Homo-oligomer: A and B are copies of this chain.
């Protein structure tokens, strides 16, 4: 256990002022939870001053307020560039109180002015209709972390600190939150934080000992064990503990001072003498009572310092006079008349405690990252094109050219240092290894000669945690940088709840003009269900498509490029975009190439096209449309068209490939949705559509609902049939192979029934033959494995 030796000593007077500032923040917190009138308590408190529905979380708030006022002091004393992340984001009213006190809130929302009227509004709006949400959400200036779904605060904090050498990110971790897997998995982030080029994270573990209705695991763990735990993670642990305000104020101030000096000295040493190992970064354990300064007891039951302080400690203030009295005593215990003047303005000696301008944590531009966003310098993606002279005649790994493109993005932006690539240990496996020509994996522990492209200076962030990859990237983007998260398709689901939360943040942020647009969250899913034949069933899951389909409006975009050139075009487009979640799904294995770069660009611009070379329609409408989305699906569809042209030329077939899945949505539901005429121009009004879909087949039905005759869409896709087998067997098991598509096409063209009987038998025989062959030879038939288009 370390002590805060060498820290500055604050005067009693300064501590007392800070204490008052803390009281003001606590007062505003309680006011927001309870009051709709009488904000300065100029009158005795009456039931009608109380909101009809009491919503909010008191328990965590005094701790957040305490930390905020102390960070303000530190910022002012040392001119620190700092932002604040509240893990227990349910402490929304506390953070609002602080950004209001420091003035940023009223600058952004002038109607919530720094006077009595403004106070009334501040209180009334909290957690009420048309007002402000209860958590530290996107409307709160200075926030980049809502903290509603607990567990991601450290991941966000480290993401924000990467490549921000002067920034210190103060991150409050709830001790309940500290029980979540994602949070426990985040402590190791210091192993990826380079003191030379990155900023620092100062974690403050808020050990108020309780969560909603019970004690926390760490809350009942001895300091000794806690110290071992975090020393094991590599931190130096500082304890600040107590329930006497002035003692705690003094200890916290001294500890913060000490930690600040420690951080700066690590950085200075690394920056002057070079990197020499992961520093023992400081971590503060703040053990103070939950709901500190709130009611000690209610109806004879202890509240302060227990889980009972978590939400609204006094629930019946409107109906029980004794409770109303308790509330009034509680509010008056802060002496609002000493904190605010008659007009409701914070007294000047207190207001002077807050930092100025952009040093205020609510106004720090890092927390409004779009303000700092510098465009990515993108080399011309066309120069990475594969030569494709004739469609579907050559195989190439679809992700490989993207790897080369990424390599040069790293090169072009080396100076700007604003691009990172995140991946759970699969960059090479995903065939993006060309990046290693210029960029290393970030690694700060010992490096051995046999290691492959490791360096403390790398910007390829490989950690075996989808949560960290996603969370770091989110923090990196929110503070105004660019990035890409590439992962096995199936395991993207591990982070899907984070992606959902992030989409909610983006939706909120777009509605706020003061939030500047940030770079999009780009997700590349590879090693897809169709080609995880070697890893088997657990590695086969295209579910993230469905999760993103459920997002609101235009936030999410889903791309299924059929080949390498389309992938380059889509990736370029996504990397230039702002405020979206872009999902790109494409496999890493060698696949057929279809389009030249010029064609690919046009195809991706349109979002879908008819592939005339693959169909045989004449001037009339085709008999059947073979549609496809996804690389393997394109291959099976084109091969089906090829087979049908040969064996049943009377059947007029059109092939449509969809790159941008959202084009299928009606235009009211997504801005990419095709207008009616264009939809019909591709899919006709009423001809059967056999749709080979990369993901869960039935998702297409929700997309085409509202289109003419949706019942004629016959979709095949991944149907949860999987195992370790050959690539072609995967499409056979899921009944979306070329032969299945041919069978469907024939089934849905009754006009030609007199011709199809022998062909149906032939398809079925091919499938039986496949079944026999792979069991004997353990690989696909050469006619399948090596299939290419011939005229």
Contact = CB atoms under 8 A, between A and B. Distances in A.
Contacts of A221: 445
Interface in A700-737: 701-703, 705-706, 709-711, 713, 719-721, 723-726, 729
A149 interface: yes
A428 B308 CA distance: 12
Nearest to A454: B214
A326 interface: no
Nearest to A426: B212
A179 interface: yes
A541 interface: yes
A213 B425 contact: yes
Interface string A539-577: 101010011011111000000000000000000000000
Contacts of A120: none
Given A493-B497, A724-B55, A148 B710 contact: no
Nearest to A715: B705
A215 B443 contact: yes
A651 interface: no
Nearest to A56: B534
Interface string A734-777: 00000000000000000000000000000000000000001101
A213 B427 contact: yes
Nearest to A713: B705
A137 B778 contact: no
A133 to B, nearest CB: 4
Given A129-B729, A233-B229, A724-B133, A212 B181 contact: no
Interface string A684-704: 000000000000101101110
Contacts of A464: 150, 176-177, 179-180, 211, 216
Interface residues of A, number: 131
Interface stretch (A183-191, A381-389, A475-483, A592-600): A183-191
Interface string A454-471: 100000001111111000
A185 B180 contact: yes
A420 interface: no
A287 interface: no
Interface stretch (A158-166, A408-416, A501-509): A501-509
The 5 A-B residue pairs whose C-beta atoms are closest, nearest first, are A229-B232, A148-B538, A181-B185, A552-B720, A228-B232
26 contacts: A36-B778, A52-B778, A53-B534, A53-B779, A128-B725, A129-B726, A135-B535, A137-B536, A176-B464, A179-B465, A181-B183, A181-B184, A181-B465, A184-B185, A184-B187, A213-B428, A214-B452, A215-B443, A215-B454, A229-B231, A231-B232, A496-B496, A546-B550, A549-B698, A699-B702, A705-B710
Given A180-B464, A180-B465, A508-B537, 8 more contacts: A53-B534, A124-B778, A135-B535, A181-B184, A217-B445, A228-B231, A228-B232, A549-B698
Interface of A: 36, 51-53, 55, 89-90, 124, 127-135, 137, 146, 148-151, 176-177, 179-188, 191, 211-217, 220-221, 225-234, 301-302, 306-307, 425-429, 441, 443, 445-446, 448, 450-452, 454, 462-468, 490-491, 493-494, 496-497, 500-501, 504, 507-508, 534-539, 541, 543, 546-547, 549-553, 696, 698-699, 701-703, 705-706, 709-711, 713, 719-721, 723-726, 729, 774-775, 777-779
